[in-house]
């Protein structure tokens, strides 16, 4: 067992001990036998009931524990148990917890550039976002932003393209958006409000009753699998798509920098590889569950509707003028925006070729 642990460490740690200098080899082996027992706490921004999202943090914790033969344990706490869901960044920054799992766009009040870590209206799909983060320089730029918060960030799960939400009445054109009362947070809400929508920000549990009694006309949440659980289809018949404000919402794991630096290198590698796994498996989980949930919703009488083209066009123009405004007054935002925008243009051209022509031919139109 110790030999296996040693070989694993040598392989992933890149320390080149095999066949290397003898004295280093003798030093390293006893140190690995006494790899420390470490227990961390991870604060999630999400409730247990969102099993795909909350579950991504559990995927990470289980893998880290297995890779370290039980020595490094991370206990995952749902929103509100240790800290409220929207205080996860503060908690990791201050070291109240060593780790967090959250969506960085909750914290754009601290730095607007954090939106690029999650998603922006008319932004990247899940695949494009991963490509930008892992290979297109995005993660490096975002890590520089997170360094100000004493945090190291890892991509930690994606919802894929979300749905546009539940509407009590149909939208025929952009003029129908004026005066519509809709629950929609974040940048999507800012764009909607410039379209004349009366934007409401309600927590998950408050949406259903507001929709039911007509206090709001529409509400967005995530997609079929999560929306079904909240029962919106019972109080609003029209289910719009796509959720152009969240074409691939990416969650993040946050690690407190000091806690990270104190970890043995193999434990750091365990977190890194487990975060990759969580990032892939959350999207796969959604891609498996959403088709089934959509079938059930359609059987229950839900009417699918596509957003009218003029709504999408007006929204896209507003979104990009918002980005330009922000970039003109904020150098950090400008850096992220330029990298993201250039990546997006190239990715769109490429995805507009093989991916799109295949999708148009192969996928049924609802």
Using CB under 5 A as the binding rule, the residues of this chain from 147 to 166 that contact Ca ion are 162
Closest to Ca ion by CB, 32 or 161 = 161
Closest to Ca ion by CB, 217 or 246 = 246
Q: How far is CA 356 from CA 154, 219, 248, 363, 365, in A?
A: 29, 29, 16, 10, 14
State the nearest-atom distance from the C-beta of 280 to Ca ion, in Å. 21
Contact window for Ca ion (CB under 5 A) among 81-89, 141-149, 241-249, 279-287: 241-249
Q: How far is CA 148 from CA 106, 111, 138, 156, in A?
A: 17, 10, 16, 20
Residues touching Ca ion, count (CB under 5 A): 2
Tokens 């601290």 -> residue = 110
Contact window for Ca ion (CB under 5 A) among 39-47, 73-81, 96-104, 244-252: 244-252
State the nearest-atom distance from the C-beta of 185 to Ca ion, in Å. 8
State the nearest-atom distance from the C-beta of 46 to Ca ion, in Å. 13
Closest to Ca ion by CB, 228 or 246 = 246
Closest to Ca ion by CB, 182 or 347 = 182
State the nearest-atom distance from the C-beta of 210 to Ca ion, in Å. 16
State the nearest-atom distance from the C-beta of 219 to Ca ion, in Å. 10
Residue (of 111, 176, 131) closest to 334 by Cα position:
111
Measure the N-to-C terminal CA separation of the chain; round to a whole number of Å: 54
C-alpha 21/C-alpha 102 separation (Å) is 43
273 burial via Cβ count (<10 Å: 0-12, 13-18, 19+): middle
Contact window for Ca ion (CB under 5 A) among 100-108, 189-197, 226-234, 238-246: 238-246
C-alpha 153/C-alpha 139 separation (Å) is 8
Tokens 């596509």 -> residue = 306
Could you list the residues that contact Ca ion (CB under 5 A)?
162, 246
């Amino acid at each position: 067992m110790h030999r296996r642990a040693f070989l694993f460490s040598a392989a992933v740690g890149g320390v080149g001990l095999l066949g290397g200098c003898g004295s280093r080899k003798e030093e390293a082996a006893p140190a690995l036998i006494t790899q420390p027992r470490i227990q961390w706490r991870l604060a999630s921004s999400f409730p247990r009931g969102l099993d795909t999202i909350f579950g991504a943090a559990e995927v990470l914790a289980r893998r880290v524990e297995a890779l370290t033969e039980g020595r490094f344990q991370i206990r995952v706490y749902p929103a509100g148990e240790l800290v409220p869901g929207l205080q996860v960044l503060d908690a990791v920054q201050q070291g109240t917890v060593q780790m967090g799992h959250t969506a960085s766009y909750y914290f754009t009040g601290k730095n607007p550039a954090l939106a690029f870590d999650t998603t922006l209206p008319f932004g990247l799909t899940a695949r494009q976002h991963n490509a930008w983060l892992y290979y297109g320089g995005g993660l490096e730029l975002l890590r520089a932003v997170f360094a100000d918060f004493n945090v190291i960030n890892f991509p930690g799960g994606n919802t894929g393209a979300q749905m546009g939400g539940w509407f009590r009445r149909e939208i025929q054109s952009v003029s129908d958006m004026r005066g519509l009362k809709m629950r929609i947070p974040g940048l999507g809400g800012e764009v909607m409000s410039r379209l004349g929508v009366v934007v409401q920000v309600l927590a998950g549990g408050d949406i259903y009753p507001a929709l039911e009694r007509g206090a709001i006309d529409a509400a967005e949440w995530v997609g079929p699998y999560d929306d079904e659980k909240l029962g919106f289809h019972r109080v609003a018949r029209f289910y719009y798509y796509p959720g152009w404000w969240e074409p691939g919402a990416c969650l993040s794991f946050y690690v407190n920098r000091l806690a990270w630096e104190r970890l043995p290198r193999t434990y750091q590698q365990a977190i890194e590889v487990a975060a990759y796994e969580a990032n892939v498996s959350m999207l796969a989980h959604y891609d498996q569950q959403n088709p089934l949930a959509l079938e059930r919703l359609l059987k229950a009488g839900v009417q699918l509707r596509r957003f009218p083209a003029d709504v999408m066009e007006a929204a896209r123009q507003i979104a990009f003028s918002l980005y330009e405004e922000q970039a003109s007054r904020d150098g950090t935002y400008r850096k992220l925006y330029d990298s993201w925008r250039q990546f997006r243009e190239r990715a769109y051209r490429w995805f507009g070729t093989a991916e799109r022509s295949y999708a148009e031919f192969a996928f049924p139109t609802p």
